[in-house]
Chain A
Amino acid sequence: MASYLVKRFLLMILTLFGMSVLIFVMLRLVPGNIADIVFEAAGMVDDADKAQIEADLGLDQPIVVQYGRWIGGLLQGDLGFSYVSERPTLEEIGPRIPITAKLAGLALFFSILFGIPLGVISAVRQNTPLDYVLRVVSLSGLSLPSFWLALLILMFFVSFFGTIPIYTRPPETWWGELALYSVPAAAVGFRSSALIMRLTRSSMLEVLRQDYIRTARAMGASDNSVNYFHALKNAVLPVTTIIGIEAAFLIGGLIVTETVFNIPGVARFLVEAILWRDYPIVQNLVMFIALVVVVINFLVDLLYVVLDPRIKYAD
């Protein structure tokens, strides 16, 4: 196990290194940099000034040197300054992370809270009207783009309650926060919950056919005990994998949702930074998201060992 952990840790470092190269190169492949954008917007044509700005930001250096400077700073905890606001990157990103983290956490919580029990019910009541309804709902959850769903929800709130549940100022109480984030979290989590539901359903149907389920029944276990204890404990194994993957996917969904609900989180901020070619913000934020995804997947792998006694990570 110890040597597995070491191997796994080294692999995580390698993944992050690859990610850093990828995001760095891709950003530079996108036409234009901040100087181009600023000059174009202002309609200025003084090439000397533009070259001066590029020199100040170090954008005139060879790409390898630029990369070395960024990684060198990153390793020392120096994330640089935002090109746009000229404030330290950490100060720009730092306050936005908890907002997105809460939103993503709540979305994931909702999707598990609804996805797993509904998946079990759908499997247990296979081919009944209830199952059909749940399957249609989950299929629409997979096919509805989250921005469209978010807009529908906003319109629903406007026409029925006369209010828009969007972010106007920071919430003061935890329930205010919960109320504020619930709607966008539901909008973005619907897809994940639909996916989790479908996977739970098919996994349950598979497990319910197994011999040990018949054994449990032969020993007098009740339906609830069979479904939610004997079967679900087995059926949940493949679902954990999807939950890990969905955690990463949520970031993508949040970009749109944060925009629609006017939430000052990192996802929307990332898109704005890309539009401005604000390299330090984009690079460091992407690295942070990559780190989160890598860590979540690592935790999911560790969770397997807890959930499935048959899995052992051999050295």
Chain B
Amino acid sequence: MTSTTAEIAATAPGERVIGDTVLAVEGLETVFYTRAGMVRAVDRVSFSLRAGETLAVVGESGCGKSMTALSIMRLIPDPPGRIVGGKVVLDGTDLLQLSEPEMRKMRGNRVSMIFQEPMTSLNPVLTVGRQISQALMMHQGMSRAAAMERAIEMLRLVKVPEPAQRVKEYPHQLSGGMRQRVMIAMALSCNPRVLVADEPTTALDVTIQAQILDLILELQKKLGTAVILITHDLAVVAETAQRVIVMYAGRKVEEATVEELFTHPRHPYTRGLMASIPRLGLMRSQAAQTGGRLQEIPGMVPPLFDLPEGCAYAPRCERADDHCRAEYPPYEEKRPAHWTACWHADD
């Protein structure tokens, strides 16, 4: 499975090649047992992902996108959390059926994750090289020396300058952007099939954000990794992903290709999200309508332990009627390959 940098470099960085399905999530359901009662953090979420593809998962804080990611990795803290239903099929293997030692062999190896906080996501008392080589020694049975060599290669791949010196340094000696590059090097060191990136650029300077995103996309092309990109930033989605899932209160509310979603958003929540991002040019006409102000979505995400009877978005939705408040809308294909759960999607 290991491909050297030379091999990777030999693959021409041309068009994206989208392959077969590598990951299929079906009816994933994760609950948390809290004092206020049981909370359904991920409520019957399904999606699939093909090799080389980038799937964006968007939504406000607390909508369940990070919990979906952690459920795929089976890193939900138990207690209080538990995955209670569904399947996470990676290359024909249901990860939820694996024993913990078997799952451990998958993590960092076949499916990897990078996190939002590069400043705190690396162990402060271990050298960068040690942290990258840890997974290589564990998953690929490399010797310490060989793993260190590969760690240097990986750092070169993520464009960290002077990689041979950097491996001996500690995280506090690196900037936030460099640390996120190290995280990416670590996550991709075993050439995983799926990379889950949970808000990988949120904590970074704006100038660094674009660099890190470009890097992820470039490596994705080289390695053919499928990426799940979790973000609340629709601008990031537009630049990077092929398909988008919009989540609200633990459920999928809309799913489409990026072009389709941005041109024909169906769910009022998605429209609200789009209206709340500042854009030049495109939004001029709309800005004129709203008196030059950005639109916000009124209200807050309802607490998950106290969801309304019908559509969870109804209390904040300007189109909500009695039907919305009474019954949760079915998740239907409203346009070709464009699914949404809204009674008013056709309005």
Contacts and interface: CB of A to CB of B under 8 A. Distances in A.
Given A211-B117, A310-B170, A310-B172, A219 B125 contact: no
Interface stretch (B5-13, B52-60, B103-111, B227-235): B103-111
Contact of B75 (A217, A230, A234, A308): A217
B347 to A, nearest CB: 42
Interface string B100-137: 01001111110011010100111111110000001100
B112 A215 contact: no
Contacts of B183: 215
Given A309-B172, A310-B170, A310-B172, A218 B124 contact: no
Nearest to A236: B125
A211 B123 CA distance: 8
Contacts of A222: 101, 104
Interface in B88-106: 101, 104-106
A200 to B, nearest CB: 16
A214 B120 CA distance: 10
B67 interface: no
Interface in A273-315: 307-310
B138 interface: yes
Interface residues of B, number: 30
Contacts of B186: 215, 219
Nearest to B104: A220
Given A220-B139, A221-B134, A309-B125, A212 B107 contact: no
Nearest to A231: B123
Contact of A215 (B104, B115, B125, B127): B115
A53 B208 CA distance: 83
Contacts of B113: 218
Contact of A212 (B105, B124, B172): B124
A233 B127 CA distance: 12
A124 interface: no
Interface in A212-270: 212, 214-222, 230, 233-234
B256 interface: no
Nearest to B113: A218
B51 to A, nearest CB: 21
Contacts of B112: 218-219
A205 to B, nearest CB: 13
Given A220-B138, A234-B124, A211 B109 contact: no
Contacts of A212: 120-124
Contacts, number: 73
Contact of B108 (A211, A218, A234, A310): A218
B73 interface: yes
A211 B170 CA distance: 16
B53 to A, nearest CB: 21
A215 B138 contact: no
Contacts of A220: 104-109, 135, 138-139
Contacts of B134: 216, 219, 221
B182 to A, nearest CB: 10
A30 B335 CA distance: 96
Interface in B196-255: none
A230 B131 CA distance: 10
Contacts of B101: 222
A211 B75 contact: no
B115 A211 contact: yes
Interface string A180-223: 00000000000000000000000000000011101111111110
A214 B75 contact: yes
Contact of A218 (B75, B105, B138): B75
20 contacts: A212-B121, A212-B124, A214-B75, A216-B123, A217-B107, A218-B75, A218-B107, A218-B187, A219-B107, A219-B134, A219-B187, A220-B106, A220-B135, A220-B139, A221-B138, A222-B101, A222-B104, A234-B123, A309-B124, A310-B124
Interface of A: 210-212, 214-222, 230, 233-234, 307-310
Interface of B: 73, 75, 101, 104-109, 112-113, 115, 117, 120-127, 134-135, 138-139, 170, 172, 183, 186-187
Give 8 closest A-B pairs by Cβ, nearest first: A219-B108, A220-B108, A220-B107, A211-B120, A309-B170, A212-B123, A218-B113, A219-B135
